Structure 1
Amino acid sequence: MSLLLAALIFSVNSFSQDLKSQLEGITKKYKATVGLGLIHLEKGDTLALNNELQFPMQSVYKFPLGLAIMNLADKGELKLDQVYHVTKEDLLDETWSPLKKKFPDGNVDLTVAELLDYSVSKSDNIACDILFKLAKGTKPVNDYIRQIGITGMNIAATEHEMRAGWKIQYTNWSSPMQMTRLLEGLYQQKYLSEESNAFLMKLMIESSNDATRIKGLLPEGTIVAHKTGTSDTRGNITDACNDVGIIFLPDGTHVALTVFVNKSEESYDNTRKLIAELSELVYDFYTSK
C-alpha cells in the first residue's frame, strides 16, 4: 500500500470516527433510537448511525412520492397543469390537511402541481392520497423507487390506510442511508428532467415543514430543502419524528442529511431538539474547517 493511499484511508477513517463519536454523544443524552445518514455531496464523505434498522418514514415518504409523480410528468403520463376535481369523498376525517381547512366541502379543482405543493410543501395527507390515486397506488410508486436503485426503502400504505392500525406505519420504512442516497440523486439530477428536478427542489426549499428540526439551530437564512415526518404519540412514545434534507453550506457545498427518531420517550420539543442538535453539529463540523 502506498503512503498516499494509507494517508487517505487514515484521513477518511479519522473523519468518520471523529464526527460519528460526536453524533453518538448527542444521541446518548436522549431516550430514543436514532438513525442518521450523511453524505457530503461534493466531498463524498459518508456516515451512518443504525443503518441496519428500518425506520418508519411517516410523511417523509411524500418526498419519494413527489419524485414518482414528477417522473410520470416527465414521461407524459401526467401533466402538472392537469386538473383533479376534489370531492367531499376525498376529504378524510381527522387528518392533517391545510387543503381541507381551506376547502372544507371539497368541490374544488386543483392541478397536479398544486397537489404536489400541498403534499410536499405543506405535508397535506389528503393531497398525498390523491397523488397516490393518480399514480395508481403505492405499488407503482414503490416499484419506481426500486427501479432507480433505492432498495432499502418500502412504500406500502397510503395516509388513509395507515390510520387503520398503529403498526401499519412500519410498512412505510427506510434505512437512513437509502433516504440520504435518494436526496443525493435529487441533488445530482439523476432521476428527473432539469425542469422537474428544479420544481421539486423548490417545493422542498420553500416548504412550511417544521423548521425546528434540521433547520432549528442553523444560522438564520440557511437554505435547506427538506421533508419532515411525524407519528402520533401513544402513551409517552413517539414512533417517528423525522427530517431529511439537503443543507446548503456557506462555501457553496451541500450536505444531504437524514435523521429518523424512533420510539422516543422524550417530549415532542426535546425530540425535535435532538434533530436540531445533530444537524447543528454536522453544519459546524463542515463550516469550522
Structure 2
Amino acid sequence: MVNDKIVLKSVRYILLVCLLSVVSYVQAQRSLKDDIDSLLQGKKATVGVAVVYDGQAPFTYNNDHRYPLMSVFKFHLALTVLDHLDKDDLPLDTEVFVGKADLLPDTWSPLRDARPEGNFKISVADLLRYSISQSDNNACDILLRFVGGTRAVDSYVRGLGIENFEIKATEEQLNEAFDCQYLNWATPLSVIQLMEKFHREPMFENPVYKEFLQETLIETSTGNDKLKAGLPEDAVLGHKTGSSGRNKEGIKAGDNDMGFVRLPDGRQYSIAVFVSDSKEDDKTNAAIIAGISRKVYEYGRR
C-alpha cells in the first residue's frame, strides 16, 4: 500500500512537470508570435515563418500560403543530386561536361564569369558548391539536367513524405517572366520538414554526401544580411537563400532564407523565413528576416 502511494505520487509529479512544460512551451510560442507581429507592423509584405527547435513540435507563422521558393529550391535539387550519386555509387568528383550553350548570359552565374569560354568538365561537387554556396543559376540548371529535370526533383522530395510544395521550373524558366517566379513554391513548414529529415535521418548510405552538403550550406556566401545578421558570432549557420526580381509596380515576388543553426551548447534548430509580394526595398526585406532570426534565437534561450 505504501509503495502504491509512492508510485501514485511519482506519477502525479511527472504529469505535473509535463503539463507545466507544455504550458511553458505554448506561452513561449505565443510570445514569439507577438514579437513577429510587432516586427511586421506596417510592413507591406506577406511573411511566413517555420521553426523546429531540437526536434520539438514546429512553430509556424502565416504558413498557409504558397511562397515562391526562388533559389531555395536548389536545396531540394542538391538532395536529389546526392541521392542519385549515392544510388549509383558515384563519387562527388564525378565530372559533367559544360558546353558554351549551358552558360546563359543574362542570369546570375559566377561559374560563367569564371569560365566564360565553356566546353569544359567540372565535378558534381564543384557544381553543387556553385549552386548552393553561390546560388549560381547556370550550375543549377546543369545539375537539373544531370538528374533528369524538375520532375525528378519534385518526385524525389515527395517520396520522402514532404507535401505542400511544387517544383516544376528551371532557373531559365523562372527568369522568362515575372509571374514565372511563382511556379516553384512551398510553405515554410514543408521546407523545414525537409531540412529536419536531412539532419535527423540517414538519407544516404554513404555519410560523405551528407557531410559535404552540410559544409556547403555553411559556406554559403549570399544573404549575410538575412538570417545570419540576427545571430551571435558563435552560432553556426548553414543556409540557402532565394531572391527574385521586381515587376513594374516594384513588387518583389520572393526574398527568402532558410537553414539550420547550431549553438555553442550543442542545441540546434531549423528555420525558414519567406517574404513574398513585398513592396518594401531589399534592405527592409533583409531586416525583416534578420529581425525574425534574432527573435527565434532569443526564443530558444528561454
Give yes or no for TM over 0.5: yes
Shift of 1:95: 0.2
Task: Give the corresponding residue for 1:120.
Answer: 132
Q: Name the SS of the counterpart of 1:261 in structure 2.
A: strand
CA shift at 1:186, angstroms?
1.5
Give 1:45 shift: 4.2
2:265 to 247, 251, 266: 251
Distance 2:192 2:182 in 1: 19
- Partner secondary structure for residue 13 of structure 1: helix
CA displacement, residues 210-246 of structure 1 (integer Å, 9 cap, x when unaligned): 2110001322242100000000022321110000010
Structure 2 residue identity aligned to 1:74? D
1:162-202 deviation per Cα after TM superposition (whole angstroms, max 9, x unaligned): 12222222120110111011111122134224221111001
Distance 1:219 1:140 in 2: 38
The counterpart of 2:30, out of the listed 5, 11, 17, is: 17
TM-score (norm 2): 0.90
Whole-angstrom distance in 2 between the partners of 1:280 and 1:5: 28
Greater shift in the superposed pair: 10-19 or 272-281: 10-19
Higher share in helix: 2
For residue 261 of structure 1, what is the aligned residue in structure 2? Answer: 275
Q: Read off the aligned partner of 1:69 and give its amino acid letter.
A: V
**Structure 2 residue aligned with 1:38:** 51
TM-superposed CA distance for 1:273, in Å, is 0.6
Contact 2:181 2:253 in 1 (8 A): no
**Does 1:213 pair with 2:226?**
yes
Q: Which residue of 2 aligns with 1:186?
A: 198
Aligned partner of 2:8 in structure 1 is: none
Report what 1:279 is aligned to.
293
Q: Provide the C-alpha distance between the structure 2 equivalents of 1:128 and 1:223, rounded to a whole number of angstroms.
A: 25
* CA distance, structure 2, for counterparts of residue 78 and residue 156 of structure 1: 26
Residues in 2 aligned to 1:153 and 1:147: alpha-carbon distance in whole angstroms: 13
Identity in percent: 35
Task: Could you tell me which runs of 5 or more consecutive residues in structure 1 were left unpaired when the two chains were aligned.
Answer: none
Q: What is the alpha-carbon distance in structure 1 between the residues aligned to residue 90 and residue 46 of structure 2?
A: 39
Aligned-pair RMSD on alpha carbons?
1.6
- Deviation of 1:3 after TM superposition, in Å, equals 4.4
Gaps of 5+ in 2: 1-11
Q: Which moved more, 1:5-14 or 1:218-227?
A: 5-14
Larger radius of gyration: 2
CA distance in 2 between counterparts of 1:134 and 1:53 reads 31
Counterpart of 1:164 in structure 2 is 176
Instruction: Give the residue type in structure 2 aligned to 1:182.
Output: L
Partner of 1:140: 152
- Alignment partners' CA distance in 2, 1:209 and 1:219: 18
CA distance, structure 2, for counterparts of residue 206 and residue 286 of structure 1? 24
What is the count of residue pairs matched by the alignment?
287
Partner in structure 2 of residue 27 of structure 1: 40
Q: Which amino acid is the alignment partner of residue 172 of structure 1? A: N
- Number of the residue aligned with 1:95: 107
Structure 1 position 196 matched with structure 2 position 236? no
Aligned twin of 2:122: 110
